[in-house]
Structure 1
Amino acid sequence: MAEQNIYILGIESSCDDTAASVIHNGKILSNVIANQKIHEAYGGVVPELASRAHQQNIVPVVDQALKQANVSKKQLNAIAFTRGPGLMGSLLVGTSFAKSLAFGLNVPLIHVNHMQAHILAHYIDEEGYNKPPFPFLAMTISGGHTQIVRVDNYFNMTVIGETIDDAVGEAFDKSGKILGLGYPAGPEIDKRAKLGNPKAFKFTKPKLEGLNFSFSGLKTAILYFIQKETKNSPSFIEENINDICASIQYTIIGILIDKLKLAVKQTGIKHIAIGGGVSANSGIRQALKDGEQKFGWTTYIPKFEFTTDNAAMIAIVGYLKYLDGHFTKQNVTASARLKI
């Protein structure tokens, strides 16, 4: 194993970020992301605009990733790409580009599940980062997903809890919309929450048995609360914005931690890894760290750049699959609802 010299190109295009990364024996050499600012004006991702932007961005992004890594196309051993889940139009751009490139270079093609990649991002070789031992529980939280996954090895994962309606990222964004904040609202709520009192306003947590999540009721409760308060005092939001944000964030974190505590109790697994865009939230990170003292679990929190949608996580899965001989045929198709 020590003598291997494997270069993998990872391509990610599941939503509105076009990304490419080159990995060498598990170590990231480049991780390039082109964000699409165009969606901010619409308050959410517009699928048609996203796929068009991917078509414009994919060649320069891949080119940049190879240049930054100082690697030529001929050195690549395989091309890994996001097959799903995600927006169909966006996935098609990445899938067809990866297939063409692999075919042209005559190297293996490796498809990657986006949600598995968020979990396996923890196995990117980073100096000083302890990788979670198997088995562990992964909580993947993003704009489109909220899941608790039992991970027994790289390719043996079981979803033990997931949202039955909105994802946690949607809960943040829709709350932000109600408050008149920009899109995406998550970072703005996080920033304001630091300045507010998390117990200023109480929102009821959904009563849902087991490990599944629900956020649509909370969103409705926040909407009714704001409507009622602004009727009595039109400047209510303006005067209380930090306290409102802190209270919303406190409630959402409480829902996530309650389910995690239950998952630990049910499985007996005390290694907790976090992934997905919403795991960049400072309140969630702090609550997980606090849980080490309170509940005796060990937490694994990757670098910010590996939590949001990125191609380094696709490349690491490509590398692990390459070592295992998991290759994909050229007739593979994108899958918007691909399951773990």
Structure 2
Amino acid sequence: MLSRAALRCARGNVLHLKSNSYARNFAVLALESSADDTCAAVVTSEREILSNVVISQNELHASVGGINPYVAIQGHQKNMPVALRRALDEAKLEMGQVDGIAFTRGPGIGGCLSVSSNAAKNMAAALRKPLVGVHHMQAHALTPLLTSPKESLPQFPFLTLLVSGGHTMIVLAKSVKSFQILATTVDESIGRAFDKVARMLGLEWGTKGYGAALEAFCASGMEKFGELSPQDLLRMPSPMPGVLGFSYSGPHSNIERHVHSQGGIEYLDEKARWRLAVSFQKAAVSQLEEKVELGLKWCYRNNLPVKDLVVSGGVASNQYLQKRLHERLCSDNAEYSSMQLSFPPLHLCRDNAAMIAWASMHRFLVKDLDDYSIEHRAKWSIEDL
């Protein structure tokens, strides 16, 4: 909690800025703890990532079979001071040399969000630094503006496919702070469905979670068993055909019903489980492909001929997804062959604080700042920035 004196200092959106605070090379320290990783980073207005620390909680969550909010909060409380110190050390900066402090305001798990929120607010108040709270999915959407070569930066307006454990959305990015949701999931996210199917098939949590384990299982089986013909794949539903919207409970339930019909996972050998994994991954990604094309057609019908598609979020690191989107949208004979497809580097697809720092930068540079008493928001639409 902040003291009354600290809160009084915060009134007026932080006016205690040094005269040179908005120099061209502005350094932001950012904190992220919205779900299962504890993150801190320092990024400059020149698109330099001076540090990007991610302390994974995979071992903690593997022991309980998935992300447990109570376990995650305890992990963040333990790891945040370590992540913060490492981020400053790797950036070769002291706290006094940081120009602004940013944090993930939401959406996410409430108790997890409070760890980075409280840490950022208390540091900013104590050191009289400007503060900005960032929308998590906005940060994912803007990551390629930080990581892409300057000659191929996505140009507004562009289409964004946001795919993670908590979200599956197609969003029209009109500017750094204006977004329109074109499609979202009516039930569960693609990331959550990947996790559930991986658990159902008896896969291990691994070093990067269940979704990555399922992707790796599909790839390793291809080398071991060879290609599957369309006849070998389990017949999967095509949810909401022709509609700008996602549904992943159907494909997930289809796998579940098949496993039960065979008497349970213990009655399926490795090849049978691999067949189910490949069937699900193909169906899940095919749905993304179809809906992205629908989103592009919507844009053209509404005189918004977007030239860039940004794919971000944890599931964007899936190599099969990247390959399929490139083939369907960017091959020479594809309808949208002139489309530029942007994926963040693999290590920046997952949650990280570098993207939070970058998403806050435009607000710091125009002095659009938050009060030290700002609250985190577990539920927060990207349209409501």
The interval holding the TM-score normalised by the smaller chain is over 0.9
- Say if 2:330 is the partner of 1:319: no
The structural deviation recorded for 1:182 is 2.1
5 Å matches for 1:79-228?
A: 79-125=101-147, 127=149, 130-183=152-205, 184-194=209-219, 195-196=221-222, 197=228, 199=230, 200-201=232-233, 202-207=235-240, 210-228=243-261
Deviation at residue 236 of structure 1 after TM alignment:
2.6
Relative distance call for 1:45 and 1:129 in structure 2 (3 A) is: farther
State the alpha-carbon separation in 1 of the partners of residues 274 and 256 from structure 2: 16
- Residue type of the alignment partner of 2:377: S
Deviation at 1:208, TM superposition (A): 5.1
CA distance 1:126–1:161, change in 2 (3 Å):
closer
Scaled by the length of structure 1, the TM-score of the pair is: 0.95
Displacement of 1:289 = 1.2
C-alpha spacing 1:84/1:76, structure 2 compared with 1 (3 Å): same
- Decide whether the 8 Å contact of 1:139 with 1:149 is kept in 2: yes
Q: Which of these two proteins has the greater Rg computed from alpha carbons?
A: 2
Specify the alignment match of 1:9 in structure 2: 29
Q: Distance in 2 between matches of 1:205 and 1:286?
A: 20
Q: Distance in 1 between matches of 2:229 and 2:344?
A: 26
Q: 1:85 to 1:132 in 2, by over 3 A?
A: same
Matched residue, 2:87? 65
Q: What is the percent sequence identity of the aligned residues?
A: 31
Change (3 A) 1:252 1:244: same
How many Å apart are 1:190 and its aligned residue? 1.0
In structure 2, how many angstroms separate the alpha carbons of the residues matched to 1:322 and 1:234?
A: 55
Q: How far does the alpha carbon of each residue in 1:195-248 deviate from its partner, in whole angstroms, 9 at most, with x for none?
A: 3427322211213552111111111111111222347x9643423232222111
Which residue of structure 1 aligns with residue 319 of structure 2?
282
Q: 2:373 aligns with which of 331, 334, 338?
A: 331
2:303 aligned residue: none
> 1:218-297 counterparts in 2 under 5 A?
218-230=251-263, 235-268=267-300, 269-290=306-327, 291-293=329-331, 294-296=334-336, 297=339
**Can you give the 5+ residue segments of structure 2 that lack an aligned partner in the other structure?**
1-21, 223-227, 301-305
Q: CA deviation at 1:3?
A: 5.8
Distance of aligned partners of 1:281 and 1:326 in 2 relative to their CA distance in 1, 3 Å threshold: same
| 1:206 and 1:217 in contact (8 A); partners too | yes
Kindly indicate whether the alpha-carbon contact (under 8 Å) linking 1:139 and 1:274 is maintained by their aligned counterparts in 2: yes
- Comparing 218-227 and 248-257, the one that deviates more: 218-227
Compute the TM-score of the two structures, normalised by the length of structure 2: 0.84
Q: Please tell me the residue identity of whatever aligns with 2:52.
A: N
User: Take 2:125 and 2:150, find their aligned partners in 1: how far apart are those partners?
Assistant: 37
